[in-house]
Amino acid sequence: MAPILFTRGAPSLDIIDQEGLRDAAQQAFTKDPGGTFAYGTSVGYVPLREWIAEKHGVDVNQVLVTNGSMQADAFLFELLVSPGDDVVVEAPTYDRTLLNLRQRGAKVTAIDLQTDGIDVDAFQTLLESGTRPSLAHIIPNFQNPAGYTLSAEKRARLLALAAQHDFVLFEDDPYYEVRFEGTPLPTMLSQDENNRVVYASSFSKTMCPGIRCGYLVGPADVIAKVQKIATNTYISPNMVAQSIVNEFCRSGRIDQSVATVRVALRERKDALVNALKRELPDAVYTAPQGGYFMWVELPGVSIEKLFPVAKEHGVEFVKGSDFLLEGGDNAMRMAFSGVTPEQIDEGITRLATAVRSL
Amino acid sequence: MAPILFTRGAPSLDIIDQEGLRDAAQQAFTKDPGGTFAYGTSVGYVPLREWIAEKHGVDVNQVLVTNGSMQADAFLFELLVSPGDDVVVEAPTYDRTLLNLRQRGAKVTAIDLQTDGIDVDAFQTLLESGTRPSLAHIIPNFQNPAGYTLSAEKRARLLALAAQHDFVLFEDDPYYEVRFEGTPLPTMLSQDENNRVVYASSFSKTMCPGIRCGYLVGPADVIAKVQKIATNTYISPNMVAQSIVNEFCRSGRIDQSVATVRVALRERKDALVNALKRELPDAVYTAPQGGYFMWVELPGVSIEKLFPVAKEHGVEFVKGSDFLLEGGDNAMRMAFSGVTPEQIDEGITRLATAVRSL
């Protein structure tokens, strides 16, 4: 019995536009062999940098294109986070961000994530108590791992707090384009009047992860400093890959790819919700309006105990506790991006059998 | 008048197999869309990792494929070099290596590079005086910036010293394949019986720089530790690019590409030597047997003064002093990889005019 994996936040191959990627490579390599095959500079492939700047309505020198958005995070943390610095994250949050911040020696404070985003009251109390974070890490849309989205009101409050208390608001937004329901909310970047926001996104969710192309948008002086770190790290990011991304974007292929992804993800989310209703009616969750993930709590069930039993039953997920400094004993992260509706249905059936066997 | 640039160690576009790269992309994307477009792991694209392991006659878990060999260096330094650590480099050496080691807070000792490689006697004296480097950085073939090659005898002595004094011998070897004259010497990696060598190379000089694909080969335990750093930095390197590289290698295109590059580089080296003989007969240099660079000294000429004047005359190079902790006042690095023989001839004519005008 092949295991059904709700573990990894990655798209299944059937929703990647393989033909479009092949075409984009041919076009890109033919149209601009010089820019594609030579060393570039650490700002990234220039036409793609321009496309991103236009998309976000910013000056081109506010953009840096990197080898995936995690590399962008790493550069930004190298610039802004020194050992002992206070840093604020959401609880739960992306496990790799947590790990990287702790490895840099940051004093990480995790503030509860509510279904409409981080608990801004608690954040404000922390700031008023004298904590001076250098950075707050926020995943505004369809958060990983919870799937929740930051409300418009909280976005405004965070911008005000960042301006007042002088910290960098790191808006980590890889899922923005993969909204399959509801109305998009403006980014904090687009509302930032005080140069406090640094924004990151990626093409992993709209093209494919293997292309490893992410980017930062922020104040020109911050971007210039990050650029220096990037130059010293790798001279230039992958020009071949970024040239393919550029062609994929400018040819309009990306719009079609995003449309495909949205339809598939909504079907998968629906399949997950329906299967849970049927198989595990006590499960607690808020169905997301986009993205890859749903946070599912099973009251009274020890996820620590469930985990190996579920595996024996052929279904895997990530334990909620992996995304928290403490707690999460009844919670799981269910990624629905890499499994078909049929697999989801079968997977939740297996999960329920595992729960009943405890 | 377009400037003639002897500055950058990069191939000109005419010696890059553009058609081969287009073909490789088509084949790679069609044969293995799963491996190409999905997240990989930080070891790199598995079939390419295997190809490299076979090429070097090592176990596959001794290989890690990265986003360019500079990124590989950065990972290795992060693992092995702590602030205050002694590190040995060649004088002159690659300016970015020097910069990165100093930024990590290493105590860098630069040992004279002779035409047959680093002054091993001086290195031995340093070791016997009690200095305990964690790492020695050696560019064995057609060194950047000097173009010199480490002799077989010195390779053996370095291996013995590394074993005796317990330091990592970092064999940084991007130019190995681009030998256009003479007989290849075995790598230190291939002669290492004490697990002291970590070897780095890249596809920048054999395919193209824009593909940003490098790799490390070393003891399995060291590679496992580097892999962990790589995972935390970027999850996985560029799978799309590495899949193209893999196809380019396995289809045999790479052999043809290397042959093209060798012929072109020999012609360019010859053009440089001939033009110098004619225009600047006092210039001192050792013509390289491969690679991109030649170190040229102009006795009695201040390169600091020559530099801006040469630029006015439409010819640019890198000052020797950029590759040294001190000295190099009469030296220049001439990169002949990115200029045609005709450009080289004209460039050296301009340079001679600039020298005479001082």
Domains for chain B: give ranges and CATH numbers: 4-15+255-356 (3.90.1150.10), 18-251 (3.40.640.10)
Q: Do A39 and B8 touch (CB under 8 A)?
A: yes
pLDDT bin (cut points 50, 70, 90) of residue A8 is: confident
Compute the C-alpha angle B211/B213/B214, nearest 5°.
155
The residue of A240, A242, A248 whose CB has the most chain B CBs within 10 angstroms, and thus the best one to mutate to test that interface, is: A240
List the single residue in A with minimal CA-CA distance to B206.
A37
Q: Do B212 and A33 touch (CB under 8 A)?
A: no
Q: Please provide residue B111's backbone torsions phi and psi, each rounded to the nearest 5 degrees.
A: -110, 140
> How does the average pLDDT of chain A come out, rounded?
97
Q: Do A238 and B22 touch (CB under 8 A)?
A: no
pLDDT at A1 over 90: no
| Contact residues, A window 101-130, toward B, CB-based 8 Å cutoff | 103
Q: How far apart are CA B252 and CA B219, in angstroms?
A: 28
Partnered with residue A137 across adjacent β-strands are A170
Q: Is A295 exposed, middle or buried (0-12, 13-18, 19+ CB in 10 A)?
A: buried
| Contact residues, B window 198-227, toward A, CB-based 8 Å cutoff | 204, 208-212
Q: Do A26 and B29 touch (CB under 8 A)?
A: no
Q: Is A97 on the interface with B (CB under 8 A)?
A: no
pLDDT at B255 over 90: yes
The residue of A101, A238, A242, A339 whose CB has the most chain B CBs within 10 angstroms, and thus the best one to mutate to test that interface, is: A238
Q: What percent of chain B has pLDDT over 70?
A: 100
User: Which position has the token pair 């292929």?
Assistant: A253
Query: How would you list the strands of the sheet with B63-66, edge to edge?
Result: B63-66, B214-217, B197-202, B168-172, B135-138, B86-91, B107-114, B117-118
Tell me if the bond preceding B92 is cis, omega within 30° of 0: yes
| Contact residues, A window 67-96, toward B, CB-based 8 Å cutoff | 67-68, 70-71, 74, 96
- Tally Cβ neighbours within 10 Å of residue A13: 14
Q: Is B237 on the interface with A (CB under 8 A)?
A: yes
pLDDT bin (cut points 50, 70, 90) of residue A255 is: very high
Whole-number pLDDT of residue B62: 98
Mean pLDDT of B307-315: 98
The contacts of residue A264 (CB under 8 Å, 6+ apart) are A14, A15
Give Dmax over CA atoms of chain A in angstroms.
61
Instruction: Answer yes or no: are the C-beta atoms of B44 and B65 closer than 8 Å.
Output: yes
Strands (E), chain A: 4-5, 63-66, 86-91, 107-114, 117-118, 135-138, 168-172, 197-202, 214-217, 293-297, 315-316, 318-319, 331-335
Q: Do A241 and B240 touch (CB under 8 A)?
A: yes
The contacts of residue A121 (CB under 8 Å, 6+ apart) are none
Classified as helix, coil or strand, A63 is strand
Q: Where are the alpha helices (DSSP H) in B104-208?
A: 120-128, 152-165
List the single residue in B with minimal CA-CA distance to A11.
B38
Q: Which residues of A128-151 are buried (b: 16+ CB within 10 A; e: fewer)?
A: eeeeebbbbbbbbbbbbbbbbbbb
- Tally Cβ neighbours within 10 Å of residue B286: 15
Q: Is B42 on the interface with A (CB under 8 A)?
A: no
Mean pLDDT of B217-246: 97
pLDDT at A162 over 90: yes
B247: left (phi over 0), alpha (psi -120 to 50) or beta: alpha
Instruction: Answer yes or no: are the C-beta atoms of A67 and A48 closer than 8 Å.
Output: no
The partner residue sitting opposite A29, judged by closest CB among B21, B29, B233, is B21
pLDDT bin (cut points 50, 70, 90) of residue B7 is: very high
Smallest CA–CA separation between B110 and chain A, in Å? 20
Whole-number pLDDT of residue B8: 87
- The two tokens of residue A134 are 């250098």
**Contact residues, chain A, for B8 at CB < 8 Å:** 39
Mean pLDDT of B270-279: 98
The partner residue sitting opposite A232, judged by closest CB among B99, B234, B236, is B99
List the single residue in B with minimal CA-CA distance to A20.
B29
Q: How far apart are CA A338 and CA A348, in angstroms?
A: 14
pLDDT bin (cut points 50, 70, 90) of residue B319 is: very high
Q: Is A24 exposed, middle or buried (0-12, 13-18, 19+ CB in 10 A)?
A: buried
What crossing angle do the helices spanning A341-356 and A253-279 adopt, rounded to 10°? 30
Classified as helix, coil or strand, A114 is strand
Q: Do A232 and B103 touch (CB under 8 A)?
A: yes
The partner residue sitting opposite A237, judged by closest CB among B37, B212, B243, is B212
Q: How far apart are CA A78 and CA A72, in angstroms?
A: 10
Whole-number pLDDT of residue B1: 83
- The two tokens of residue A5 are 């994996």
Q: Is B37 on the interface with A (CB under 8 A)?
A: yes
Q: How far apart are CA B215 and CA A39, in angstroms?
A: 17
Classified as helix, coil or strand, A158 is helix
Whole-number pLDDT of residue B325: 85
Instruction: Answer yes or no: are the C-beta atoms of A132 and A101 closer than 8 Å.
Output: no
Mean pLDDT of A205-216: 97
Q: What percent of chain A has pLDDT over 90?
A: 98
User: Which position has the token pair 């990972």?
Assistant: B75
Q: Do B238 and A67 touch (CB under 8 A)?
A: yes
Instruction: Answer yes or no: are the C-beta atoms of B45 and B65 closer than 8 Å.
Output: yes
Mean pLDDT of B42-70: 97
Instruction: Say how many Å lie between the first and final Cα of chain B, rounded.
Output: 21
- Cα A309 to Cα A6, A196, A247, A297, A350, distances in angstroms: 15, 46, 46, 17, 10
Mean pLDDT of A207-232: 97
**Contact residues, chain B, for A71 at CB < 8 Å:** 233-234
> For residue B317, what is the DSSP state?
-
Q: Is A238 on the interface with B (CB under 8 A)?
A: yes
